[in-house]
Each structure stands twice: as structure tokens, then as C-alpha cells.
Structure 1
């Protein structure tokens, strides 16, 4: 019996992982990738180390990291979750490790290890990969798909669409009849010009809390001062959960920052205790909180408190101002910046149009959709890749059945 033909558009995480799991005795597979190299996002992820997944093995807990798609992914993760991802790579000779923050990386600390595992599997199956193959049109004629690309025109029995969320690729799937939820950026850092942060790039806070009162949003976690403003998990999480609302206000809003992540009363108590035990110290030389000396001096400067002032002579008003600047600091956000190279969007193919039992389209027979082209995204930490691996595996299992 002649093999059926599958075309995978998009040689990224979802497309390649699907190909690596397809049955070569049943299918001839062609991967069309518009860039000069496949798996480019995998290559740069995690600073070139590739944050493969996250050590969260309970699907109900795992879906909590996805601002969009959490309900739909529950059944998907029940069939293939981070433990299965680890198993898949490890049985192909890739040793993985779980770091202290539960992110999963290859022991080699090189994304190339992950890329090699997938490309080896695809070439062992003798599947064809064409790079610099920009797809310009897709048509469904009868049972067949006609795909026009810069690398030639091709026909297929099944089409797997894993292009990522570029406007062109969303337009292309729209021509097949799919509805698109307008994409907006997710996972971004906040641009802030504020004297509290000026010239303190690289200063980090392990347990910060940030809130956007206008959106009733708050998050906690590590935070970092950058050249542009604020970044780190606390900021990225709030940017992901409120991606659509922040786009609506054109990234102009107020945030409240608690650099210490403890309550105002606790901060006051720590200060009072320290003052009682060290009455002769100057305020500038006092190490009361888990912050750098440079940042402490900046807080004192903002609070108009002389560094050489004896701690025991601080007035109640001065103490109040210091505490406010530390844990109720109000800042104006005036824009956003992309987080490293890990550009993620909220938006894409409407979730109602996908069958999450197998990632097939409810609109077009023979079409499967996965990855960032769907209106699913996650916070940082390996979750976006996990969604790709799980969705891709489901598609392959359905086609292999």
C-alpha cells in the first residue's frame, strides 16, 4: 500500500517533535521551514541551554502556568506531560537535569543536544526537510492539500500547521477558514524611568511583589533591575496573565513594587529591632534587609535621609518614608521590551476550533494545528515548549493509529 503524504509547515519545536514521532512505514513526511535553519527558537532558548520543560508532573498543577489554554491543555497533559518529555529525550541518549527552580535542561547545558536528538530521529526516518521554504498559499482540493512555497509546490493528504505566531502565518491559516484571536505580546519586561532604579542595572531581589491595582493583578517572585526598567519572573508572570489588558492600555500604567516581599509592619519591626540592637550604627552602614548596599543607599537618598545619620536618631516620619520606598514604591510604566529572544504572543487560532483530543482542526478535515500559532501561551520556565511537545505527540499518535 502506498504511503500517505504529510506536509509539516514550520520546523520548530512542535513541527519537529511531531515528525520525530510519526510512523515512517505509513507516511512520507516533508517539513517546510521558512528560515535557513530549523529549531531556531530551541537553539536560543534558556540562553542557548534550552529550557526543555518544567518539573511539574501533575497536569492539574501544570495548567496553572498557562494564562490562555489552561482548560484545554488539561486533557493534553493527562496523555503527555513533562515526565514523558524527559523519558522521550533520555531514551534517545539525552541526559536531562532538574535545576533548583524546577526548570529542566540537558546536562550538556547546550541546546544543540536537544536539536540533535530530534533531527537524528527525523533523518533516521528518511523524512525530507526543506529550509528557506516560505509558504505563500495553501488550498484544499477534495481530499488533498496543495501547498505553494519558495521551494516548490507540493501536495499532501494531511497538513500539520506549526508555524508560530507571525502575522503572515496567521493570515495563511485564516484563508483555510480558521478564526484568529488578535495576537498581542506576552512575556515582556516593563520600561520604567524612575530614580529608584537609575544606574542600578543588574540589582536583583529574590522575593519581590508587584501589583497593578487598576487591573487587580499581583505577582511575586524574583525581580531584576534592567537598563530599561524591571524584569525577572515576577514581572514576566504579571505581563503574561494581563497581556491583553496591558495591550489595551498601550503599556502605560502604574505599578506598586515591594522590593522585599514582606508586609509594611514586618519591615517596621525589622527596622525597630535592628535599631534597638545597634543604637550606635549609622543608617548607611546598617545591614537590615536582604538588599545590596547600593540599593539601600539609593532608598535613603530618595527618603532624604543622610547616610551618616545615627540610626537611633531617625524620626518616625523618616522611618515611614524609608518603609514606603522599600515596600510601597509606586512607579509609572511607559512601555515594554521583549524578554531576551523568547518572544511569545497571546492570540492565534481560536481554541474552540481545535479538537484537543488529537489537535485536529474542527474546520478543515486532515488539518492539524499545534504550537504558538494557537491561542495558548505560558509564563517563562519551559512551559511553552512543554505545550509544543505534548500537542505534537498527540498529533503523531492520532495519525499513527
Structure 2
């Protein structure tokens, strides 16, 4: 289902990282070619969990290609502390059993010292396991439940609570009051989201209410029934919580039924092709991190430069989404922590955490809100970014700095979100 300040010296050195990528495979986390940039010696090994295939493939299918681009970029810049790095990408396919098998393989067989979590749909099912093993989990996308509740998880963007507040605020500012919520049926994180929207709206004094709600799946042949039911309920606005191509299908089918509520969105669902869909023109988006298309920040420019050089097909593919940038951000966070913690091939998860705890107001070159991690405490970043499509072009209303909630509002939002 983010933020900008001047980049620090530690962030400026992020590209000086080396990494060998194992491509997203079938049933195992292995397979693929090394991208070591000519570096020799035992590599630093990290893992990456994702639901790259399955119901969310439209958004996540391109993430291994981004990891490859990151690999080539950083490996040709000298490596992390002079060492090559090996990244093992594990695809759980959106399957709970496979997800638990994959994380155990990464920890017990591949001996990873950290895991980048790029929307592994079932990370809550293995959070206690990986925490018990002392292997830190870095976002990726920050909206899964463990990212805001588990001290062993290290988010890189605003929490889902903050993003949901941004969604409610965008609906409120538009003058709409009756929201239809169509949430994914495939992932646990979608199950209670409608209630969280309602509670946050009520807690913050918003006039926005949920007029209609329904589960939807990527395999549905038609969403006409949901469109007509939302129209009958008097919903004047809509949020579709699913992969970007599903969002497009729902919105287009509603328009075909003569129903065109104002659309609103949050971060992880966004795909690049929306700029070509006139039915999504003007859609306000509350985003977890720097909007995908920005190149005005140092971190954003480095991301796009890497894609142009090493993965030129990604920006024009159907898999080009906010999650491609999220992948890059998670890997960049590891690079920053590894540099700060003087990580070597023999280092442990505890050493990676020490590096993370040394980062102060880190933005990875403008990719994230200011990041600070405290040992033994969950990380809650109460910020979001605004993004939109206007006349077929991506825009960043209000600029590329994050909107951060005042402390009193954040307290209400987080309490309401938790229920």
C-alpha cells in the first residue's frame, strides 16, 4: 500500500559502496551474476526481501533491476570500506509460507548481516524470528506494521500513520467529505486500513468519513460492482489501495460507469504510467519519501543517473514505481550505516545497528526525512511528502521538503492509528 535537507558528508559518500547482486530467483534466493566492480576478497553480504512476483508484481517487479543499478554504481566507486558487497534478493511471491522460508535461508544459509525489506507482504510473520537472530531489517518501504513497532526494523520514510494523515488532509483540503476505500484483499497490511483512516479523521477533527469500503484483488475481471456501490453510497472521493496498475483499472472502469469521484493516493501504490492516464490527472498523493520523479535533490539525481547508465529500461517499463526508488533508498541506508560503522565482511548485525545509531538527521541526500535511530526503541517518523500529476506531468506541490506533523497532532494520529 518523504523529505529533504542538505546532504551531509556521510550521505555524500554513499555511492562509495560495492555490491554483488544475486538476481530475484524462483524458489531460492540464489542465482545471478556478480557485479563486483573488479573488487577482490570476501564480500559483505546483505539480503533483500521482496514480493517481486505475485499480486504486487506491477509495482515490485522492477526492484531487482534497481538493485543491479545500485550494485554497479557503488561497486565502481571503490566498495564499502574497500570491500565488495553481495546482495541476495529473495522473492516470496506474496506467499506467507515462502516468505518465512526465504528469511530463514537468508539468515541461516546466506549469513546476511542485514536485510532490506522491499514490501515483503508477510514481514510481520517473521519479525520476531529475525529480531531474535539480531539481524536488522532496513526499509525499503516503511508502511508495514513492524516498521513502526519493532526496534529491530529501521524505516526510511514517514510511517503509514503519518501518510494516512496526509491522505485525510488532502481529501479535507479538496472540500470532499465522503471517501470510498477499496483495499487490497491479498496482503495482511490492508486488512484494517479503512478503520485506521476513519479513526485518524475523527481524532484530528476532520469532516472526512468513509462512505463505502470494499476489498478488491488484482485478479478480478471487473470492478464495476464496487464502482456502482460507491456511487450509490454517495462517495465523492476515492482511495484505491492496491498496485498501481490495479488502481488504473479501477479508476478507468468507474469512469466508464459514469462515476468519477476525486481520486486520492498514498505512497507505495504509485506507478510512472499514471502521468499518461487523464483519469488520474490532478490526483493528490501523500508520499513516504522523496517523490519518484524528482531530480532536484542530490539523492534523487544520483538515483536517476544510475538508472540512465545501468538500467535504462526501468523508467519506461510497466514496473516503474515508487518502490523502485524505495529499493534504492533501503540500500543507500545500509551503505551509510556500513560506512559509519566501519563494516567489514566479518561484521555482524549488531555492528550494522551501531552504524545506524550513529546517523543523525540523515536524509541520504534528500531522499528521506531526517532519520534518527535509538537503540531499543521503534522508529516513528511523523512526516510525509506531497506529490501529484498535473496536465500529464509529475509535480511536487509545496516543493520537495517533507511535511512534518506537530507533536500534538502526531500523538493523536499515532494513537488513533494503533486503535
TM-score, length of structure 2 as denominator length: 0.25
Give the number of the structure whose residues are more often strand, by fraction: 1
TM-score, length of structure 1 as denominator length: 0.26
